[in-house]
Amino acid sequence: MGRFDGRVALVTGSARGIGFGTASRFAEEGASVAILDLDEAAATEAAGRLPGQSIGIGCDVADADSVATAVARVVEALGGLHILVNNAGVTRDNLLFKMTEDDWDTVMSVHLRGAFLMSRVAQQHFVAQKYGKIVNTSSTSALGNRGQANYSAAKMGLQGFTRTLAIELGPLGVNVNAVAPGFIATDMTDATATRLGLDVEEFRRLSAEHNPVRRVGGPEDIAAAVTFLCSDEASYITGQTLYVDGGSTLV
């Protein structure tokens, strides 16, 4: 018996990184899983690496038509929808004086508009069946991070979005929570290292040094938190943001 037997889980931005780690954990615990990502071929290839029933779909979460089509395909192919993880993300880091309108709009579109569009479509299914779980992906950067005015605002915005959806959808059988990862070793943090002119391993080592648990996180650390929040054991938890950061925000 897996915790997610009979459930359909959709994870956005899950062709790689934290999203793929989360999709894998859902699949290992019995869910049918939909991998949504920008490139359909990459999404399909990633879905092919999961155990059990899965589908990979090309979808831009910032585009309403793309979102509606993708969710309809998931429901058709996997027979329903019970869990949505809004994980897709991008960074466009720059100090304020250098930040372009495109840097700002791109980050807002993917994180905030994307989570809004995905949640609005998914809730139709959740409310009809009086059951659903949504997890949004915030970040420790929500608390403020140099060079990330756009990303920080979007990630703190997701915490307000999470609390509000929890209030609206709780009476209808839907739990809505957020995870806020700290440093997780993925392509996203590797790209940050490159942008700062640092070796990837050195960047990870330096980040680990500033962290009470003295290591950086991996996708499996976030997957464990997300799947807990989507499990029926967590049905009395809603509107919360769980920081999964090795204690980095304590120091």
Q: Indicate whether 131 belongs to the interface with ligand NAD (CB under 6 A).
A: no
Q: Indicate whether 198 belongs to the interface with ligand NAD (CB under 6 A).
A: no
Q: Indicate whether 132 belongs to the interface with ligand NAD (CB under 6 A).
A: no
Residue 33 vs 110, nearer CB to ligand NAD? 110
Of positions 119, 139, 175, 211, contacts ligand NAD by CB under 6 A: 139
Rounded Cα–Cα distance for residues 99 and 76 (Å): 42
Q: Total number of residues binding ligand NAD (CB under 6 A)?
A: 28
Of positions 31, 61, 107, 112, contacts ligand NAD by CB under 6 A: 61
Token couple for 99:
């930040």
- In the stretch 14-33, what mask flags binding to ligand NAD with x, by CB under 6 A? -xxxxx--------------
Q: Indicate whether 58 belongs to the interface with ligand NAD (CB under 6 A).
A: no
Q: Indicate whether 150 belongs to the interface with ligand NAD (CB under 6 A).
A: no
Which range of residues in 3-11, 169-177, 181-189, 234-242 is near ligand NAD by CB under 6 A?
A: 181-189
Q: How far is the CB of 6 from ligand NAD (least distance, A)?
A: 26
Does residue 151 carry a catalytic annotation?
Answer: yes
Rounded Cα–Cα distance for residues 119 and 185 (Å): 27
Which range of residues in 60-68, 92-100, 125-133, 165-173 is near ligand NAD by CB under 6 A?
A: 60-68
Is 78:57 a contact under the CB 8 Å cutoff? no
Query: Catalytic residue among 131, 151, 236, 243, which?
Result: 151
The residues near 26 (Cβ < 8 Å, ≥ 6 apart) are 4, 7, 9, 11, 33, 83, 227, 230
Q: Indicate whether 88 belongs to the interface with ligand NAD (CB under 6 A).
A: yes
Residues marked active site are found at 151
Binding site for ligand NAD (CB under 6 A): 12-13, 15-19, 37-38, 59-62, 87-90, 110, 114, 137, 139, 181, 183-184, 186-189
